[in-house]
Amino acid sequence: MKITAIETYIAGNPWKNWVFAKVLTDEGVYGIGEGTVNYFARTVETAIHELKHLILGLDPFQIEILSQKLIRDVYTDGGQVHMCAVSAIEIACWDILGKVTGQPVYNLLGGRCHQKLRAYANGWYRGPRTPESFHEKARDVVRRGYTALKFDPFGDNWRTLPRYEFDLSLDIVRAVRDAVGNPVDILIEGHCRFNPSTAIEFACAMADTRPMWFEEPVPHTNIGAMVEVARRSPVPIATGESLFNKQQFADLLKHDSVHILQPEPLNLGGLWATRKIADMVDAHFGMIAPHSAQGPVCSAACAHLNASLPNFLIHEIFDEFNEPWEKEIVTHAVEVIDGYIEVPERPGLGIDLNIEEILKHPYQQENAIPLFRKGWEKRQYK
């Protein structure tokens, strides 16, 4: 079997343009992948086509060789953009492998460790940045059956929190805890906003609400700062979504201070690289909660990855809180029932692209997450 062509498609979701790839073979079997990254959809799509000549004619079963040709042999550090382009191709190859062997992808990654996957809701708090709004929407999330939910209460703040903003953010966290009760986990998203002293101060202030984690409170680019916060915070720190190679994870793990890691398969070159990193994390007694706030193909890929991980913690779900047409652009979209994802048994990723529906939602340049623009939580950018 040989790879003969790669097609790309972009679906213009207002929250983020989704980049999809379709890898074709000479035996008529094809696979689908995703390479979404914030702001750079067209750039990733171009990178896919710039890279594809390196693997045309190769066997899609040779995942390691394909990855080396697409990453090592390019001899350029293209960061997340480069790795997302590779991921779109690599994930599609896993889909092909599963279809050819008649196996779901998780069986090719070591087998299924979990019958179902606990999920947490994200993207549910669209609306005003007030304790009342967050309280009301959090109650709705719990009524849907979720036992965990994540949110960013910090508005457009950066580096520091003025006293009013500090108190408002804390009031929002308390309002969500009050809304969901003690049995439900709350996860606080930091989006790399703060300096270490602000992050530590806020972690201490919200500790009595018992968050499951405080996610990326400081920039991921400064591992020393992340380690300092993790060692001084009474709330567990989670990070890893923005790292794009295993060496960065190794540098973080050697400090043994962060034990909830969130690798993003699209930023790492795909499922095989992420599976290796998950094993590195396991060696440090850490748990894996992959970042999965992209499109529906990424959600499916993460479900297969998570099913194969003994140190899987929880699965991120944005899909239910995106545009309603998201479920129409793929078949068999990942679905949460009573807070859990049933692990699919269909071959490959178990989903397919609906190209006709994707074409109804074209790329729009403004489709992105402006995290430092006032009112970004409302998702009203136009």
Q: Which residues are catalytic?
A: 191, 291
Type of residue found at 369: I
In angstroms, the Cα distances linking 236 to 165, 188, 214, 228 are: 23, 10, 6, 12
In angstroms, the Cα distances linking 146 to 117, 124, 206, 238, 315 are: 12, 11, 22, 20, 11
Say how far apart CA 20 and CA 310 lie, in whole Å: 29
Say how far apart CA 81 and CA 269 lie, in whole Å: 10
Decide: 24 and 90 in contact? Cβ < 8 Å: no
Say how far apart CA 292 and CA 286 lie, in whole Å: 18
Q: How far is CA 155 from the centre of its chain?
A: 21
Count CB neighbours of 214 within 10 A.
26
| Three-state secondary-structure class, residue 143 | helix
Say how far apart CA 340 and CA 118 lie, in whole Å: 5
- State in Å, rounded, how far the first CA of the chain is from the last one: 46
Count CB neighbours of 273 within 10 A.
25
In angstroms, the Cα distances linking 73 to 65, 68, 84 are: 10, 6, 16
Say how far apart CA 180 and CA 208 lie, in whole Å: 15
Q: How long a stretch of residues is the chain?
A: 382
Among positive and negative, which fits the CA dihedral 154, 156, 161, 163?
A: negative
Say how far apart CA 109 and CA 106 lie, in whole Å: 5
β-bridge pairing 213-215 and 185-189: parallel
Nearest to 133 by CA among 166, 167, 168: 168
Nearest to 215 by CA among 245, 242, 236, 243: 236
